């Protein structure tokens, strides 16, 4: 799904600033990868590169086998719209629009007729457990419900990759667990999930964990699925986040 071949990013100066140092990375279809690191470590730069929002200044980025560096800006935009869904810490919902309308608006500039947009919005909301809240306004919803609306909006275009930037950062522990269980269910259904977090316990919920510090990416040792492995990985992630 994602392949970095010597990918790095340096912002021009003077003096030039290296935000993300050249690295090799492969994320396979169906992976659930968490990315952890302290503020300013390069997590956002990683997300922007993976999400085709920024182009690397060195190396090659292949998304689903497509060399993104060979694409025109319009082709990159189209590829991002087809293949990638985004979920952010702030929900970015329109407060005067219902859950259904917020999700359907994600398809406004596509070719689908309005009836099809509404049907697909309802399907996406049912998928995240909000069939009973189709007409609710965000102001009448809990933080966890609003984040699930945001996830439905990311899913409505049927992407193959879900990029999540601190999706539990604004939630209490109960709502955070609900959102994480939803992401785990999406992963179980075959969705490729990449989740950026500063929380080591959240990071340990992934199948693989990557740390970024001072723009340097490395992967923590594999979790074999037992509780000891999960705790060890959480401890390492905690050290990397501090």
pLDDT at 220: 84
Residue 13 backbone phi and psi in degrees, to 5: -100, -150
Q: Where are the domains of the chain?
A: 2-92+151-241
User: Cβ neighbours of residue 231 under 8 Å, at least 6 residues apart?
Assistant: 204
Kind plus residue range of the DSSP H or E element containing 74? helix 73-83
CATH of the domain spanning 2-92+151-241: 3.40.50.300
Sign of CA dihedral 20, 191, 175, 125: positive
pLDDT of residue 166: 94
State residue 224's pLDDT score.
Answer: 44
Model confidence pLDDT, tens digit, residues 116-150: 999 999 999 999 999 999 999 999 999 999 999 99
pLDDT of residue 114: 82
**Phi, psi at residue 11, to the nearest 5°?**
-85, 140
Predicted pLDDT at 113? 77
Q: Could you tell me the CA-to-CA distances from 178 to 3, 19, 167, 185, 228 in Å, in that order?
A: 30, 33, 11, 11, 23
pLDDT (0 to 100) of residue 236: 63
**Dihedral sign of CA atoms 156, 106, 31, 72 in order:** positive
Which residues in the chain come in under a pLDDT of 50?
223-226, 228
């Amino acid at each position: 799904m994602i392949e970095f071949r010597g990918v790095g990013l340096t912002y021009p100066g003077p003096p030039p600033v290296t935000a993300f140092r050249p690295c090799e990375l492969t994320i396979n279809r169906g992976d659930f990868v968490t990315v952890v690191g302290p503020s300013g470590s390069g997590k956002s730069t990683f997300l922007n590169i993976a999400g085709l929002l920024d182009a690397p200044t060195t190396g090659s980025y292949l998304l689903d086998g497509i060399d993104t560096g060979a694409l025109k800006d319009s082709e990159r935009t189209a590829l991002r719209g087809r293949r990638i869904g985004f979920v952010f810490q702030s929900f970015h919902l329109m407060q005067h629009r219902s859950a259904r309308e917020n999700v359907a608006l994600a398809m406004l500039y596509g070719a689908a007729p309005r009836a099809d947009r509404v049907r697909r919005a309802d399907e996406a909301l049912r998928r995240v457990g909000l069939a009973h809240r189709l007409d609710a306004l965000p102001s009448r919803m809990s933080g966890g419900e609003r984040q699930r609306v945001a996830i439905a909006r990311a899913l409505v275009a049927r992407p193959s990759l879900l990029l999540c930037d601190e999706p539990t950062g604004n939630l209490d522990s109960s709502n955070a667990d609900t959102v994480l269980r939803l992401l785990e269910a999406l992963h179980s259904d075959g969705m490729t999930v990449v989740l950026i977090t500063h929380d080591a316990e959240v990071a340990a919920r992934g199948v693989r964990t990557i740390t970024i510090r001072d723009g340097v990416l490395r992967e923590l040792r594999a979790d074999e699925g037992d509780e000891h492995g999960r705790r060890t990985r959480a401890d390492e992630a905690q050290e990397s986040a501090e």
